[in-house]
Structure 1
Amino acid sequence: MKFIDIAKNRYTTKKYLGGRKLDRDIIDQLKEILRMCPSSINSQPWKFTFIEDQELKNQLALSSRHNDERVRNASLIVVFSAMNEVGIFEEHLTKNLPPRALDYFTNNIKPRGEAEIKVWMQHQVYISLGFFLAACASMGLDSTPMEGIIRDDYDKALGITGYRTMFAVAVGFRDPEDENQPTITPKLRRPLEDVITEK
């Protein structure tokens, strides 16, 4: 399938078929896809937590507001977290990246201060989200990005330290009666001339 067709048919799934598991090979591919995500200066200030355990999904559903049903019924929940301690991030850069990347950080990002550094790291995690959603669609998987969660509760339930939960993604298989799918509710997008400018 061409990517343009994937873009036209991918949608945010609202209703999943509960009880369906993903093959281990698919989960392994999703893990590798996230590992290979792009980021500014190859900074990779993230961690991804894969959750299949139903009891844990049920617990997280209680902290997922209007996404509770999706968290319970999706085959997989992936929690996206950003590094939350600048000192640890700098150690990571020094240990893992070439001098030019470290120089870029030192000269262009670090002078902005701790709050701005954290925002910059969080932006990198959003890059991985777009990459991941497109990958899921290319593999025939349905997905739902979810910011509507109580992040502190997720951090506590998952034992996340040194990082901060940003959002989660439900992955699985749509219920055929999900009314949000484009064949039932056509996608609404702004006209091309409103979003694209040529110079």
Structure 2
Amino acid sequence: MNFLELAQSRYTTKKYNPNERITADKIEQLKEILRLSPSSINSQPWKFTIVSDEAVKRSLGSVSYFNEPKINDASHLVVFSAIDSIAVFEEQIKAHLPEGAVQYYMTFIKPKPEAEIKAWLQHQVYLSLGMFLSAAASLGIDSTPMEGIQADKYREILQLDNYQPLVAVALGYRDQEDANQPSLKAKTRLATEQTIQSI
């Protein structure tokens, strides 16, 4: 299946088969894909928490509003968090990035207000999210990205010092009666001419 076909067939899963689990080798592949995610200046201001423990998954599900059934039935839950301490982030980039990348940050990002710096850090996490959803589809794994989570409760449950959860992704295999799958409900998107400009 080529990438276009993956984009056409991938969808946000609404109902999972609770009896089907993702194999360890596929989880290892996803870990490496997450590690290789792109970010501006290779900043990597993130932490990815992969949850398979049923008790922890259910605790997170209980603070996920209407997403609880998906999380409980999914094989795994992946939590995408952004670094929430600018000081810790600056220590990290000084230790791991080349001087030119650090200077870019110090010149163009650091002078901004704290809220804008943190927004920039969070934007990098969303780059990894897009890559991850496509990667899961390429492995035949269904997914559900969810911002409908109580982020501070997630932070507490997962003991994420210096990191703020932004989005969670349920992973697993669809229930064959999931009404949202493209074979039962056609995907809808705006027309190309409304969203893409060619100059």
Deviations 1:42-71 (A, max 9, x none): 000000001001111111111010100011
> Residue 184 of structure 1 corresponds to which residue in structure 2?
184
1:106, 1:19 → 2: CA distance? 50
1:56, 1:115 → 2: CA distance? 31
Deviations 1:51-108 (A, max 9, x none): 0011111111110101000110100100000000000000001000001100110111
The answer to whether residue 88 in structure 2 is matched with residue 88 in structure 1 is yes
Secondary structure of the 2:79 match is: strand
2:131, 2:92 → 1: CA distance? 23
| TM-score, L = length of structure 1 | 0.99
The answer to whether residue 18 in structure 2 is matched with residue 21 in structure 1 is no
> Residue 74 of structure 2 corresponds to which residue in structure 1?
74
> Residue 65 of structure 2 corresponds to which residue in structure 1?
65
1:42, 1:113 → 2: CA distance? 21
1:158, 1:198 → 2: CA distance? 45
% identity of equivalent residues: 50
> Residue 132 of structure 1 corresponds to which residue in structure 2?
132
2:198, 2:20 → 1: CA distance? 45
> Residue 160 of structure 1 corresponds to which residue in structure 2?
160
> Is there any run of 5+ residues in structure 2 with no aligned partner, and where?
none
- Note the aligned Cα RMSD (angstroms): 0.6
Number of residues paired by the alignment? Answer: 199
Runs of 4+ residues deviating >6 angstroms: none
Secondary structure of the 1:16 match is: coil
Secondary structure of the 1:13 match is: coil
> Is there any run of 5+ residues in structure 1 with no aligned partner, and where?
none
> Residue 117 of structure 1 corresponds to which residue in structure 2?
117
Secondary structure of the 2:174 match is: coil
Instruction: State the shift of 1:19 in Å.
Output: 2.8
Contact kept? 2:48, 2:79, Cα under 8 Å = yes
Instruction: State the shift of 1:155 in Å.
Output: 0.6
Contact kept? 2:21, 2:173, Cα under 8 Å = no
Instruction: State the shift of 1:29 in Å.
Output: 0.6
1:20, 1:2 → 2: CA distance? 25
Secondary structure of the 1:168 match is: strand
Q: Letter of the 1:139 partner, please give it.
A: L
1:19, 1:159 → 2: CA distance? 29
Q: Letter of the 2:10 partner, please give it.
A: R
